[in-house]
Amino acid sequence: MRKGKSSLIKGILLGTTITTFLAACGGGEKTPQETSSNKNLDSLQEYVSQRLPIYEKVRLSTDLNLLTPNERQVLPLLIEAAQIMDELFWKQAYPQRDSLLATIKDEKTKDFVRINYGPWDRLNGDKPFVAGIGPKPLGVNFYPADMTKEELEKSDVKDKNGLYSVIRRENGKLVAIPYHIYFATELQKASSLLKQAALITDNEGLKKYLNLRADALITDNYTASDYAWLDMKTNGLDIIIGPIENYEDKLFNARASFESYVLVKDKEWSKRLAKYVTLLPELQRGLPVADKYKKEVPGTDSELNAYDVVYYAGDCNAGSKTIAVNLPNDEKIQQEKGTRRSQLKNAMKAKFDKILVPIANVLIDASQQKYVKFDAFFANVMFHEVAHGLGIKNTVTGKGMVRSALQEQYSWLEEGKADVLGLYMVTGLLKKGELQGDIKDYYTTYMAGILRSVRFGAASAHGKANMQCFNYFQEKGAFERTAQGTYKVNYEKFATAMNELSALILTLQGNGDKAAVEKAQKERGIIKPELQADLDMLAQKGIPVDIIFEQGVDVLGMK
């Protein structure tokens, strides 16, 4: 039976294509072309009006009284440098921003373009929401629009899969242009701002890092600054800045996108986390997989710290917002020295209060809602980041690094590994008495977390990872959907499914079997109709999917 228009709009929020939506609304077939175009435009604007509320606005702030006078001088410079990363990400994701916004009259649509860094709905499978816009290119602006994947693979370009270059066509031939040349003007300005901040700061570790990172932005040589970043221990301010993650490149999963986080360390919470670093080698040895998939030894100089994030820019600000970071991504540095796991506590608390708790109140069985707790959410997210540094980085089959072997299938599987191994670590630490609480808190909060993250959709690596986990756990009876339409965790089967999925993912990574990973994504990286109906209900109840920010020096009260 065909639904009425208002019911249809609610029903499409997290799944139906815009084409289906427009057709069901009566656009095009029986009216003159101009009238059809106007109806389609109206329908798109109506779509945007329904989608905007999925984001809850949050003010990013911190207690400036905890900053030293010196840090208060440095902070605005870091934010200014971060804003340049935002402009650079626009050039990577959708360089026609200004001309597009100039053609759009509807203010809500303009706002939605800004949130999504382009005319595609990132949390709804990258569906276009502006008239005349086609599907989102897999390679966005990293590659020529007319280039095929096969063309680059067969070319003689030396930097085919480079992190820090764009591919362009010159005189009909594909060439790689380094970021520091292609984006020279912006990167030189950002570099200068970091140098200014380095001159002012009185923290020697931060000074060294800022100088080296400034150099890296104009050379594309980031290794020295990554080591310096890991060496910082006493800094109160921090900035993650540069081309870092490669989620946006869905053609090869190769090229890095610009982003930045400006951070203020929560020293008290960071002290609470320090003890877990010493447990990393033991956690690696205990992974539930055959020995050959866990023989690598993780670096032991890793850190766990908690921060208030006061500025997001670029890739990390697009679509679903990151609430914890595990860097550097360089596998060699991870093995030699480790990583820093940065927990973005204020953003995490906002998501917990405004999204996860309301979801739990609707979809978690009433008898288990009492187990949904922030400390458990914080730990699950934290050990997700720890898990990125564990497992296997080199295939056991001679195919090289896991990232290279799996290419565009790498990111979503790696996020799935981190999800389930993080929970495995929580379980082990509870048994050892190294973590406080009831296992029911962690498992139930994890279940609510899955229901939160699958709403990010199939266009997101995190969304696919959570779909895989949901479907696998459901197959294993780790939870049941009750007659009341709620989800109830079976704690014993939850632990068993966790171990089995951990072993499966680590084996897929270690084998570097891209075809098997593609098969796993097609089978489990999907939202089935029953779950989709539950997610649609969350949308109808007005529960946001994610957050957007009021941020900057004005919000901080520094002007």
Structure tokens at 554: 């004005």
* CA-only gyration radius of the chain, Å: 23
Instruction: Give CA–CA dist 221/218, Å, rounded.
Output: 8
At 327-365, the pLDDT tens digits run: 999 988 988 888 888 999 999 999 999 999 999 999 999
Q: Cβ distance 541 to 533 under 8 Å?
A: no
- What is the model's pLDDT at position 304? 85
- What is the model's pLDDT at position 505? 95
In order, the DSSP letters of 110-167 are HHHHHHHTSSEETTTTTEE-STT--PPPTTTTTS-TT--HHHHHHS--TTTT-TTEEE
Instruction: Give CA–CA dist 551/559, Å, rounded.
Output: 13
Q: Cβ distance 527 to 535 under 8 Å?
A: yes
At 446-459, the pLDDT tens digits run: 999 999 988 877 66
Residue 556 has pLDDT above 90, yes or no: yes
- 37: pLDDT confidence band, cut at 50, 70 and 90? low
Residues 6+ apart with CB under 8 A from 227: 333, 337
The whole-chain average pLDDT of the chain stands at: 89
Residue 550 has pLDDT above 70, yes or no: yes
- Region 151-170: mean pLDDT is 96
Record the pTM: 0.80
- What is the model's pLDDT at position 341? 85
Length of the chain: 559
At 481-530, the pLDDT tens digits run: 999 999 999 999 999 999 999 999 999 999 999 999 999 999 998 889 99
